[in-house]
C-alpha cells in the first residue's frame, strides 16, 4: 500500500441499457481519512459505491485494494476484504433481531448451531461502542425507529471489522444529537485507521467531518483531492451542477392571506405515545413549518391530521368542517395531500411508470366512458402536462419511477396532488436525499404553490430549511409544541435551544 492509499479506483466505467452511468471515475481513499463523495442525484455516486461493494462489475477500469489489483465478484467478496457499505435505503431484515442482523452471514456458530448468548453479547458490545447500549439486541429491527435502524446498520459494519466503511446519506434520518454521535463514532474509527467514504448532500456536514472531497458529475470525476474544510461552498456547488446556484430561499409574501379564514384548524390534537395538545392553524397561501428533533412527534402530527393515524383526542377541521378520525379518504376529499418522509416505500409504486404514479390519487378521472376502464391515453397526456410544469427529468412519463433521481421522484409525488383539488399540502422532509440544484427547484415550487393560494404544512429536520421556507414556525419537543411564531423572528440557535431545553438535564 503506497502513499497510505487503501483504495485506488481508476477509469471506472459502468453501462446499463441506454445509460452510461459511470464514464471514467477516479477515486483514491487513504486509511484513517474521511473521503467525501459529492454530486447531484444521477451523478453516478450510487453506481460507484455498488461497484466498490461488489454489487456491480465495472465494464472498464481498475480497482486496487491495499496495493493489490482486485475484482469483486459479489458483495460477500468485498466484505471479506474489509469493505462494508451502509446504503441510504437500509438493507436490514425487519423480521430478525438486532443481534441476528449484525451477524447475518457470519453467525457465531458451531456445526450449524448459533451461539445465541455469545452473539447477543458481541452485538451489545458493538452497540455500546457506538454509544447506543439502550437498543435491545433481542428486539426485531422492524420495531425500531428509523434512527435506531441507521445505528444498527452502522453496528453491522463494525461487527465485520471493516477497514473501509461506505456511508450513503447516513444522517438523512438522524436528529442533530444523533448526527453529533455519528460524527463521534466516525472520528473513533479514523483514530483506529479505518477509512470512511461519506456521501451527503448536506455541505455543512462535509465541513465538519470530511478530510478530502471528490466531486462527480454526469458519471465523471470533475475534481478530487479537494480539502473538505477549506474549499469554498460556491466552488463545490459549481463543480456539482456545472453552474452557479444561488442557495437562497424564495422571498416570502409580506402578509400571506392573513385576513382569510383558516384553511386548516387543529385543536387539542393528541396521539397516545407520540404527542399531545397540538394546536395549529394554516391559512390559504401560508407555509407553516414544524421544527424539532427526530422523535419529537412532527411526522406523527402530519400523519394524524391526514388520517393515516387515528387521533386519540382533538379536532381537525378543513374550511370549518370537522374531519372524522383516521380517514385518509375524508382528508383527500376535503382537499389534503401528503408527501410522506419515506417516498419510496410510502408514496411511490417504484415499478410503475411516472404516469401511473402521478394519476394515482385521481384515477376516477382517468376512466373511459365505461366505468372501471382506464383511459391510458388520457392518463399519459394528463401526467405529461403535470410533470412538464415541474420540469421532471427525464421528460418521459412511461419510464419507471424507480429510475428517476430523488429530486425528480419528489416532484412526481408533488405532481400527483396538483392534479386534483388540493388546497392543503402536507410535506414531510421534502428535500431528503435531494441534491442542491433540485432543492432550489423544490423550494421555488413550494413557494409558488403558496403564492397561488395553497396552504402548506412542512416538516423538516433541517432547521435552516424550516426557517428559510416557512412563514410561521412551530417548535416541538418531546411531543409538545413549545413555541409558535413568525419564522423571521427565530434563528437556528434559538430553535436548537428550544428543542434541547430540558432534554440534557
Q: Does the fold of domain 248-335+421-505 match that of domain 2-241? A: yes
**By the 8 A CB rule, do 281 and 319 touch?**
no
Position with higher pLDDT, 182 vs 437: 182
- The pLDDT value recorded for residue 371 is 62
**By the 8 A CB rule, do 41 and 407 touch?**
yes
- Is residue 128 very low, low, confident or very high in pLDDT (cuts 50, 70, 90)? confident
* Percent of the chain whose pLDDT exceeds 90: 44
Q: Where are the domains of the chain?
A: 2-241, 248-335+421-505
Determine the average pLDDT of the residues in 475-504: 82
Which CATH number applies to 2-241? 3.40.50.300
| Main-chain phi, psi angles of 279, to 5 degrees | -120, 130
pLDDT digits (tens, 9 = 90+) for 203-222: 888 889 999 999 998 889 99
- Is residue 175 very low, low, confident or very high in pLDDT (cuts 50, 70, 90)? low
pLDDT digits (tens, 9 = 90+) for 143-162: 988 778 888 888 888 888 78
3-state DSSP assignment of residue 444: helix
Position with higher pLDDT, 490 vs 2: 490
Lowest mean pLDDT among 33-47, 103-117, 211-225, 441-455: 103-117
| Measured distance CA(394)–CA(404) in Å, rounded | 8
- Is residue 63 very low, low, confident or very high in pLDDT (cuts 50, 70, 90)? very high
- The pLDDT value recorded for residue 435 is 66
- The pLDDT value recorded for residue 224 is 94
- Is residue 267 very low, low, confident or very high in pLDDT (cuts 50, 70, 90)? very high
The DSSP 8-state label assigned to residue 264 in this structure reads E
pTM above 0.75, yes or no: no
Q: Of 424, 344, 419, nearest to 383 (Cα)?
A: 419
Which CATH number applies to 248-335+421-505? 3.40.50.300
- pLDDT over 60 (residue 245): no
Amino acid at each position: 500500500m503506497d502513499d497510505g492509499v487503501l483504495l485506488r479506483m481508476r477509469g471506472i466505467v459502468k453501462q446499463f441499457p441506454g445509460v452510461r452511468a459511470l464514464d471514467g471515475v477516479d477515486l483514491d481513499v487513504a486509511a484513517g481519512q474521511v473521503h467525501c463523495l459529492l454530486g447531484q442525484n444521477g451523478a453516478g455516486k450510487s453506481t460507484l459505491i455498488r461497484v466498490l461493494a461488489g454489487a456491480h462489475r465495472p465494464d472498464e477500469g481498475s480497482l486496487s485494494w491495499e496495493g493489490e489489483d482486485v475484482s469483486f465478484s459479489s458483495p460477500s467478496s468485498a466484505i471479506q476484504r474489509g469493505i462494508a457499505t451502509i446504503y441510504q435505503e437500509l438493507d436490514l431484515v425487519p423480521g430478525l433481531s438486532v443481534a441476528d442482523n449484525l451477524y447475518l452471514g457470519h453467525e457465531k456458530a458451531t456445526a450449524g448451531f448459533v451461539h445465541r448468548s455469545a452473539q447477543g453479547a458481541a452485538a451489545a458490545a458493538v452497540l455500546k461502542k457506538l454509544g447506543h447500549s439502550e437498543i435491545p439486541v433481542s428486539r426485531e429491527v422492524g420495531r425500531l425507529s428509523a434512527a435506531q435502524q441507521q445505528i444498527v446498520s452502522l453496528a453491522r459494519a463494525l461487527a465485520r471489522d471493516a477497514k473501509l466503511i461506505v456511508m450513503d446519506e447516513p444522517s438523512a434520518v438522524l436528529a442533530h444529537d444523533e448526527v453529533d454521535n455519528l460524527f463521534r463514532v466516525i472520528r473513533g474509527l479514523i483514530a483506529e485507521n479505518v477509512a470512511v467514504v461519506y456521501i451527503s448532500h448536506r455541505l455543512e456536514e462535509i465541513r465538519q467531518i470530511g478530510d478530502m472531497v471528490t466531486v462527480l458529475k454526469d458519471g465523471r470525476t470533475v475534481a478530487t483531492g479537494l480539502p473538505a474544510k477549506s474549499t469554498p461552498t460556491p466552488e463545490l456547488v459549481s463543480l456539482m451542477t456545472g453552474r452557479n446556484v444561488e442557495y437562497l430561499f424564495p422571498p416570502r409574501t409580506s402578509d400571506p392571506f392573513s385576513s382569510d379564514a383558516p384553511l386548516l384548524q387543529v385543536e387539542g390534537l393528541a396521539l397516545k405515545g407520540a404527542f399531545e395538545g397540538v394546536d395549529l392553524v394554516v391559512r390559504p397561501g401560508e407555509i407553516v413549518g414544524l421544527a424539532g428533533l427526530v422523535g419529537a412527534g412532527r411526522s406523527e402530527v402530519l400523519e394524524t391530521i391526514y388520517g393515516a393515524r387515528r387521533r386519540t383526542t382533538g379536532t381537525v377541521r378543513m374550511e370549518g368542517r370537522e374531519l372524522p378520525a383516521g380517514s385518509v379518504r375524508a382528508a383527500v376529499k376535503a382537499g389534503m395531500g401528503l408527501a410522506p418522509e419515506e417516498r419510496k416505500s410510502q408514496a411511490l409504486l417504484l415499478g410503475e411508470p411516472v404516469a401511473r404514479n402521478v394519476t394515482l390519487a385521481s384515477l376516477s378521472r382517468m376512466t373511459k366512458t365505461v366505468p372501471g376502464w382506464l383511459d391510458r391515453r388520457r392518463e399519459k397526456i394528463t401526467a405529461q402536462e403535470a410533470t412538464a410544469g415541474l420540469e421532471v427529468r427525464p421528460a418521459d412519463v412511461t419510464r419507471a419511477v424507480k429510475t428517476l433521481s430523488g429530486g425528480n421522484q419528489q416532484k412526481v409525488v408533488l405532481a400527483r396532488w396538483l392534479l386534483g383539488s388540493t388546497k392543503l399540502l402536507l410535506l414531510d422532509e421534502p428535500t431528503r436525499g435531494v441534491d442542491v440544484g433540485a432543492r432550489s427547484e423544490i423550494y421555488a415550487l413550494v413557494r409558488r404553490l403558496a403564492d397561488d393560494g395553497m396552504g402548506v404544512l412542512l416538516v423538516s429536520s433541517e432547521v435552516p430549511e424550516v426557517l428559510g421556507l416557512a412563514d410561521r414556525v412551530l417548535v416541538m419537543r418531546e411531543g409538545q409544541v413549545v413555541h409558535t411564531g413568525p419564522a423571521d423572528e427565530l434563528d437556528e440557535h434559538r430553535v436548537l435551544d428550544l428543542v434541547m431545553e430540558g432534554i440534557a438535564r
